[in-house]
């Protein structure tokens, strides 16, 4: 099998991690990939439904395919906290 699912939005193909939507390669299989994605951040306090006690610094990070803009992953983080790296063995 040359194409293998590794998340709802990513596949492994020909030794690379690729966007499942368009096939764009984000780096070698078995390694972190988020630094190759397009990152946008949104303060959680600005999201609809934010509560009165929400931390002003907390962010929603969104990682998108730089080729087709498909949303690949998201994570909650404070500025400076490292990316959460999910790695499926090659």
Partner 1 sequence: MDPITFSIIRHRLFRVVEEAVITLKHVSGSAITNEGHDLMVSLYRADGALLMGGVGFLHHLTSAAEACKAVIRRFEGQINEGDIFLLNDPYTAALHTSDIYLIAPIHHEGRLVAWSACFVHVFDIGAMNPGGFAPDATDIYSEGFSSPGLKLVDRGQVRQDVWDTLLNMVRGPEMVALDLRSMIACNNVARERMLALIHKYGAPTVDEACQTLIEQSETRLRERLRELPDGQWQSRQYLDVKGEIYRVVLTMTKKDDELVFDFTGSSPQSKYSLNCSKWASLGGLFAPLFPLLCYDITWNEGVIRPIRMIAPEGTIVNATRPAPISVATVGAIQSVNNAACSTIGKMLAASEKYADEATAVWHANHFAIFMFGTNQKGGLSIGILTETFAGAGGARTFGDGVDIGGEIPNPISRMANVETIEATFPIRYLFRRRLRDSGGAGHHRGGAGAEMAIVAHDAPDGGIDYVISGKGSGFPMSDGLGGGDPGGVNDYVWVHAADGEQSPQTRFAASVDALGGEKQPISWGVYPLRGDDALYVRWNGGGGIGDPLSREPARVLQDVVDGVVSPRAAAELYGVVVHEGAIDAAATDARRSGLRGGRLVTEATA
Per CB under 8 A, does 15 bind partner 1? no
Per CB under 8 A, does 28 bind partner 1? no
Q: Give the burial class of 33: count Cβ atoms within 10 A of its Cβ; 0-12 exposed, 13-18 middle, 19 or more buried.
A: buried
Site for partner 1 in 30-59 (CB under 8 A): 34-35, 38-41, 44, 47-55, 58
Q: Indicate which single residue of 23, 27, 43, 66 sits in contact with partner 1 (rule: CB under 8 A).
A: 66
Distance separating alpha carbons of residues 90 and 88, to the nearest angstrom: 6
Q: Are 41 and 25 in contact (CB under 8 A)?
A: no
Q: Where do contacts with partner 1 occur on this chain (CB under 8 A)?
A: 4-9, 34-35, 38-41, 44, 47-55, 58, 60-64, 66, 69-89
């Amino acid at each position: 099998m040359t194409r293998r699912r590794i998340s709802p939005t990513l596949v492994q193909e020909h030794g690379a991690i690729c966007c499942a939507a368009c096939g764009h390669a984000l780096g070698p299989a078995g390694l972190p990939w988020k630094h190759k994605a397009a990152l946008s951040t949104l303060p959680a306090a600005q999201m609809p439904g934010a509560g009165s006690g929400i931390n002003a610094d907390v962010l929603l990070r969104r990682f998108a395919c730089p080729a087709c803009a498909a949303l690949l992953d998201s994570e909650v983080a404070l500025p400076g906290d490292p990316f959460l790296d999910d790695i499926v063995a090659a």
